[in-house]
Chains A and B, each alone.
Chain A
């Protein structure tokens, strides 16, 4: 079973993402901010990380930068949740090493389609 790490500071978003992915048969771990996610990523192995950008403690861009420096996450797909207005953010995310992005708002189908785009 593919393992996904979902990172968002908003509980409802996290629940929605988590629930959607679990329903689709993924093993999902949730984290509330970048720092928490980085720790989880170091202590486990994930096939995909989906992270919000704006978060307290450690934001999503910093998380992605940090993950890419870890050998285990060199080629792992890292997706960021961004908003339609965040064109700059997308570029910033790419420069940090993000694989791609999911644009908020999204519905469960869009989320799964995007996830399937990066997981074999």
Chain B
């Protein structure tokens, strides 16, 4: 039968990656001095499953590598070997290596990493054995045609194990010409007779071209409890195999047969698979059930409405019914929308899971003692957001470990616990998800930051900004507080990039820091990228959407608060700040009712943590809008992040504030506020 195994390999990849994840987290939690047997078992099972699957699906390299892990873990599991830190390190590195191997297989590229050989060597030394035991390349020997006489005395118990002599004979018959003779064997007397026992013996004569190993396979499962002899009747075979010899050869032959399947698996069975990076998602049954329920409700409402629609005349009563139906339809549509969005929602533990490892590795590297606390791991957020938030989070965590947390000695000197605490916290607030990265380290050194900022000309020499304003400076491009460019940070990826990434997700980041107490970075993100809470504004005949999360306030500005800096640039005074104003119609080249600031409305919005004003004609409603990509449907437009279709069918463009600010040629606050 031809079965294409590649159809299962996607599932294999997914579950293997999951297995690696649980391996990693169990390894990280493991108390080396007294490992929990259940944890070791879980790790073993993960390695074991990956090995079994990869061998079956033809991924030989993965199979032979996991074999090493399995052997080591099996010995630890059975108490034949004591778990050490060295083992833990080797296994963690193996997790990384296997991830890369699987990744290469998924992308159909060759895997090449010196680490593989290095680790293989380490395992081999550790296990004191040949590094590739799985892949012996023995070839099945081929005998010439021969006649074998087999006597078979069944064990009394074989029926109780579900074995049946008739089936074994049927298997032999498939190998060649078979004669079966029942031998005259005594049966116990009635008092000792076990009705479920088997007391028979047979003599079988088999003429076959198959080797003895093949014949023996028929009895493979029962050979220990049955008496079986093989005798070659054929002259040719007799020279090599007398009955005594046959028994002597048996163990080797047994090895041979057990090795064969592995050898066969080396055939590239699953390599014909097409490249299918499907980006699948695992959804809990509950969510799907909810969705199906919702659709059911919709269908009922639809039936009700269509029934009403079939009436020729609409009386008052059916009008009321219809109104009710439409209301229901609205509720259900909204519910359905919410449940569909839920499908993309994953618990943030998917992102958090990588941090125990990261923190352990970095902590070791920096000789710092860190305890990682994860909170709110069940908090759900959109898969796309999750994928994009991980990098900024990694950067912030690195920063906290590198710059924030002090060395154990420093902490001791300050009267703190030697082990620092790093907390990752996630929770929902309104329509947003909040992710916090909190450390109890040194906090930001405001004096140093200010000095550096003055050197770089980011702050005027005689200026004395507030502490909060100084903290904000670390988000400026090109700013780094590291005295030296260390291995971990200061590699040209600064906090400005973190800020930019978060802004791209329509989120923002907030920083609170207290000297010697620690820092807290708060990332606020929309739950999904597909829907946006927007403020609709009118500029001339056009409607734009401004993300609600960026809006501070909207106001009419009296002429005495407007200052003209140049032909294009005007600022307004708002309390004790001066804000540049961008005329939206100007940037997008169309007409508006209000050409001057005093005639229209100024909407104060957040752009890269600076405030700017947008001049618009009128505020319309606030509503949730479904974001359509402009890039996919048209092309990328500066200052616009996407589009949406309004209830009346018109298209409204969604303003990308950061993009608009750069389009307007406003660099930073200092240019204008001075």
Against B, the Cβ 8 Å flags (1 = close, 0 = not) of A31-53 are: 00000000000000000000010
Instruction: Name the distance in Å between A88's Cβ and chain B's nearest Cβ.
Output: 9
Contact between chains at A76 and B162 (CB < 8 Å): yes
Contact between chains at B12 and A12 (CB < 8 Å): yes
Which A residues, 91 to 106, have Cβ-Cβ distances below 8 Å to chain B?
A: 94, 97-101, 103-106
Instruction: Select one of B11, B42, B45, B63 contacting A105, CB under 8 A.
Output: B63
Cβ–Cβ < 8 Å partners of A15 in chain B? 8, 11
A-side interface residues toward B, CB under 8 Å?
9-13, 15-16, 19-20, 23-24, 52, 54-56, 68, 74-78, 81, 83-85, 94, 97-101, 103-110, 112, 117-118, 120
Number of interface residues of B (CB under 8 A): 46
- Are A85 and B67 also in contact (CB < 8 A) when A12-B12, A56-B42, A120-B167 are? yes
Instruction: Name the distance in Å between B41's Cβ and chain A's nearest Cβ.
Output: 8
Contact between chains at B8 and A16 (CB < 8 Å): yes
**Taking CB as reference atom, which chain A residue is nearest B168?**
A117
Instruction: Name the distance in Å between A68's Cβ and chain B's nearest Cβ.
Output: 8
A to B CB contacts below 8 Å, 13 in the list: A10-B52, A12-B8, A13-B56, A75-B159, A84-B134, A84-B259, A84-B262, A85-B67, A100-B163, A104-B56, A108-B1, A117-B167, A120-B164
Per DSSP, chain B at the interface is: helix
Cβ–Cβ < 8 Å partners of A13 in chain B? 49, 52-53, 56
Cβ–Cβ < 8 Å partners of A97 in chain B? 160-162
- Are A104 and B221 also in contact (CB < 8 A) when A12-B12, A23-B1 are? no
B-side interface residues toward A, CB under 8 Å?
1, 3, 5, 7-9, 11-12, 15, 42, 44-45, 48-49, 51-53, 55-57, 63, 67, 70-71, 134, 159-164, 166-168, 171, 196, 220-221, 224, 258-259, 261-262, 264-265, 269
Instruction: Select one of A23, A24, A77, A107 contacting B162, CB under 8 A.
Output: A77
Cβ–Cβ < 8 Å partners of B166 in chain A? 120
Cβ–Cβ < 8 Å partners of A98 in chain B? 161
Contact between chains at B265 and A105 (CB < 8 Å): yes
Contact between chains at B9 and A12 (CB < 8 Å): yes
Instruction: Name the distance in Å between B75's Cβ and chain A's nearest Cβ.
Output: 12
Cβ–Cβ < 8 Å partners of B221 in chain A? 94, 99-101
State in angstroms the CA–CA spacing of A76 and B12 once bound together: 30
Contact between chains at B15 and A105 (CB < 8 Å): no
Cβ–Cβ < 8 Å partners of A81 in chain B? 52
Q: Known pairs A10-B49, A103-B258, A120-B166; list 10 more (Cβ under 8 Å).
A: A12-B8, A20-B1, A54-B44, A94-B161, A100-B221, A105-B63, A107-B5, A107-B264, A118-B167, A120-B167
Cβ–Cβ < 8 Å partners of A112 in chain B? 1
State in angstroms the CA–CA spacing of A20 and B161 once bound together: 25
- Are A12 and B53 also in contact (CB < 8 A) when A99-B162, A117-B171 are? yes
Instruction: Name the distance in Å between B66's Cβ and chain A's nearest Cβ.
Output: 11
- Are A99 and B15 also in contact (CB < 8 A) when A10-B52, A16-B56, A54-B44 are? no
Contact between chains at B162 and A105 (CB < 8 Å): no
State in angstroms the CA–CA spacing of A20 and B11 once bound together: 16
